[in-house]
């Protein structure tokens, strides 16, 4: 514990991100990178995932570092690649099986934890509701974005979205069953898949998310220019490393 405390005091979070979008001033965001924590390799250094094999005390220290930048502890979820959405204000210390959360109360922090999957942040023009969704390909295909939008109870035309760090189409290779699953839901998804020599496909998860948002009537979509696999110095990547940490994309309403 002494080593962790000493390391924590020397760390910086200057490499963390915020959403680049024209959100109302009371909408706040924070997107962690792999920098600024205390975990040892292969979780180095700001691993926020308690389920990936990292030392529990290191994860606790990393979450404490993050907490210093937030109005409250994040409403962590036990993400299961599904479509369930919960009210972050009602969670307390629970971590329910869900892949998205929303908040209307100020100071309640929604969180999506990722390491290649797509984090989607949402807010409305009035700054009255925010949401965060964890969209791996299964959840994206099954409708987690649609579920998160519905949970906000906002008119889609009043919503904007920001797509956070995820695997890019240069690195996201999938089998034909993934393509078929998306095409079954929407034939327009074919534009997101490029066939390669081994019978598999490179898929643009950012485009798939934009398509889903567009069909809902959400035209203002920002972000989507990252690659967690290629940018190894900045991001954790399960596809690249297998055993690795988790980042968080967070959104809340300021008091």
Domains and CATH numbers, the chain: 2-253 (3.60.140.10)
> What's the pLDDT at 255?
84
> What's the pLDDT at 26?
98
> What's the pLDDT at 92?
82
Question: pLDDT tens across 123-135, in order?
Answer: 999 999 999 999 9
User: Exposed e or buried b for every residue in 67-105, given b needs 16+ CB within 10 A?
Assistant: eeeeeeebbbbebebbbbbbebbebeeeeeebbbbbbbe
Question: pLDDT tens across 81-124, in order?
Answer: 999 999 999 998 889 999 999 999 999 999 999 999 999 999 99
Question: pLDDT tens across 137-178, in order?
Answer: 999 999 999 999 999 999 999 999 999 999 999 999 999 999
pTM of the model: 0.94
Indicate whether 45 pLDDT > 90: yes
């Amino acid at each position: 514990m002494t080593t962790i405390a000493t390391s924590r005091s020397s760390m910086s979070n200057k490499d963390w991100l915020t959403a680049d979008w024209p959100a109302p001033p009371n909408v706040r965001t924070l997107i962690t990178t792999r920098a600024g924590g205390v975990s040892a390799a292969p979780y180095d250094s700001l691993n926020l995932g308690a389920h990936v094999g990292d030392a529990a005390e290191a994860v606790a220290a990393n979450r404490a570092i993050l907490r210093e930048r937030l109005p409250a502890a994040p409403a962590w979820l036990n993400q299961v690649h599904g479509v369930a959405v919960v009210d972050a204000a009602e969670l307390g210390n629970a971590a329910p099986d869900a892949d998205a959360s929303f908040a209307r109360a100020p100071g309640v922090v929604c969180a999506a934890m990722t390491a290649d999957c797509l984090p989607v942040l949402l807010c409305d023009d009035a700054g009255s509701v925010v949401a965060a969704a964890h969209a791996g390909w299964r959840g994206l295909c099954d409708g987690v974005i649609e579920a998160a939008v519905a949970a906000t109870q906002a008119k889609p035309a009043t919503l904007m979205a920001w797509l956070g760090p995820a695997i890019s189409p240069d690195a996201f290779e999938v089998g034909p069953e993934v393509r078929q699953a998306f095409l079954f839901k929407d034939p327009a998804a074919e534009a997101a898949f490029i066939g390669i020599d081994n019978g598999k496909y490179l898929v643009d998860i950012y485009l798939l998310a934009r398509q889903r948002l567009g069909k809902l009537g959400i035209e203002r979509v920002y972000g989507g220019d990252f690659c967690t696999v290629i940018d190894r110095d900045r991001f954790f990547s399960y596809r690249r490393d297998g055993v690795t940490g988790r980042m968080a994309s967070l959104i809340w309403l300021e008091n």
